[in-house]
Amino acid sequence: MASGKHSYGVCIGRVQPPSRAHLASLRRGLRVAERIAVLIDGSWSAPSTRNPFSFEQRVALFSADLTGEERGRLRFFPLRDHPYAADRWQAEVWRCLAEFRADSPGADVLLLGLEPDPGRRGLDLLPGLARIDTGWEAAAERGAAAHLRAGYLEGGTAFLEQVEAGAGAWLERFRSSAAGAELVREQAFIRTFRESWKGSPHPPTFNTADALVVVSGQVLLVQRGGFPGHGLLALPGGYLNQDETLLDCALRELQEETGLEVADRKLRASLVAQRTFDHPERSDRGRILTEVFAIRLDTGGRLPAVHAGDDAQGALWMPLAECARKPERFFEDHLALLEAFQEAVSRPAGV
């Protein structure tokens, strides 16, 4: 090891997509660390305008412009989003770092970059790691990244100035693929939606409500019929009307989207928990706060009949244990919403 170099370094971020500035930051990091772990946030997320590229695709984007020597000194790790459970995110980071330095468990790791996240603001989640500024945080500036993605998905070419040549060629090929075309359509929807309130004196904050209904260890989900998130799984829910409470909204949307054959009075009596979810970046549509109502039903082990309605293209029961194994099938943060109530809804009904 060269004199003055650390054995290990780590960079953590969403890198959607890896930019020229990200590459420059990594190369500065390689001057002070022999090996670097790149932990990629938002892995296993369903494709969206915020997370268009999978973990494997982001590794390919990085690799397109790395030399063989550089690639040999980097190791990539996937990190799942945990917007409402910083402790779970922290545990995943430490697990990755333990695997990364398995041959030297006690070795120090130099923090070369940590992309800021509003859900982790003010928390010291990586105590004990010495830090050095390589420009990673500046490369990950969220407004600039969102602007880059929007321009790219709207058919522009300005993004080519912000990425290296190999990544640029990869991105152009992807945009013309079937998966890319679907994201282009979703971006068009997002653009139109945002244009609808562009003239407001202040950016609006939208309120929604969702129903998390569990029967005998199975949760009721809908399959979304339109954009954004066409075909993805979500909790039944929707926008709050002016003349209803949040609970009224959740139960109305539940009936409209699933046709759940359970009396309104029983649903209200079976409410076990509720919580507000307000991560500032939970939706690309804009600032959306949602209130989730957890309902644990006792139906004698029988799953009530459901059928899709309104803007849902499907309604189904799914075992809770299966949900965590399929994060890439869930819309926006809906798996995280479900996981936040895991304890409350896993107890037997009536307990």
* Residue 341, CA atoms < 13 Å, CB-side half-sphere: 27
Residue at 67 is within a domain: yes
Residue at 60 is within a domain: yes
Residue at 198 is within a domain: no
**Are residues 209 and 173 located together in one domain of the fold?**
no
For the beta carbon of residue 201, count every other beta carbon within 10 angstroms: 5
pLDDT of amino acid 343: 85
Quote the CA–CA distance of 123 and 164 in Å, as a whole number: 33
Q: Which are the contacts of 3, defined by CB distance < 8 A and separation ≥ 6?
A: none
**Are residues 157 and 30 located together in one domain of the fold?**
yes
Quote the CA–CA distance of 45 and 55 in Å, as a whole number: 9
Quote the CA–CA distance of 70 and 236 in Å, as a whole number: 46
pLDDT of amino acid 136: 93
Instruction: Give the largest Cα separation in the chain, rounded.
Output: 72
Residue at 194 is within a domain: no
**Are residues 107 and 215 located together in one domain of the fold?**
no
Residue 163 belongs to domain with CATH number: 3.40.50.620
**Are residues 211 and 126 located together in one domain of the fold?**
no
Quote the CA–CA distance of 117 and 14 in Å, as a whole number: 10
**Are residues 249 and 154 located together in one domain of the fold?**
no
Quote the CA–CA distance of 120 and 96 in Å, as a whole number: 18
Instruction: Among 161, 179, 197, give the residue marking a domain's end.
Output: 179
Instruction: Among 163, 179, 195, give the residue marking a domain's end.
Output: 179
Which residue range forms the structural domain that includes residue 17?
6-179
Quote the CA–CA distance of 25 and 22 in Å, as a whole number: 5
Residue at 200 is within a domain: no
**Are residues 10 and 157 located together in one domain of the fold?**
yes
Quote the CA–CA distance of 32 and 2 in Å, as a whole number: 9
Structure tokens at 311: 């803007």
**Are residues 24 and 95 located together in one domain of the fold?**
yes
**Are residues 42 and 174 located together in one domain of the fold?**
yes
Residue at 196 is within a domain: no
pTM of the shown model: 0.93
**Are residues 42 and 147 located together in one domain of the fold?**
yes
∠ Cα 20 54 319 (to 5°): 155
pLDDT of amino acid 309: 85
**Are residues 170 and 224 located together in one domain of the fold?**
no
**Are residues 239 and 159 located together in one domain of the fold?**
no
Quote the CA–CA distance of 113 and 120 in Å, as a whole number: 15
Residue at 325 is within a domain: yes
What does each of the 351 residues of the chain score in pLDDT, given as a tens digit?
444 678 999 999 999 999 999 999 999 999 999 999 999 999 999 999 999 999 999 999 999 999 999 999 999 999 999 999 999 999 999 999 999 999 998 889 999 999 988 888 766 888 889 999 999 988 877 678 888 999 999 999 999 999 999 999 999 999 999 999 999 999 999 999 999 988 888 889 999 999 999 999 999 999 999 999 999 999 999 999 999 999 999 999 999 999 999 999 999 999 999 999 999 999 999 999 999 999 999 988 899 999 988 788 999 999 999 999 999 999 999 999 999 998 888 776 555
pLDDT of amino acid 350: 55
Find where tokens 């804009």 sit.
286
**Are residues 242 and 302 located together in one domain of the fold?**
yes
pLDDT of amino acid 257: 96
Quote the CA–CA distance of 35 and 190 in Å, as a whole number: 40
> What b/e readout covers 167-192, taking b as 16+ CB neighbours within 10 angstroms?
bbebbeebbeeeebeebbebbebbee
Residue at 142 is within a domain: yes
Question: Could you write out the three-class secondary structure of 312-347?
Answer: EEEEEEEEHHHHCCCHHHECCCHHHHHHHCHHHHHC
Residue 248 belongs to domain with CATH number: 3.90.79.10
pLDDT of amino acid 2: 45
Domain count, the chain: 2
Instruction: Among 162, 179, 196, give the residue marking a domain's end.
Output: 179
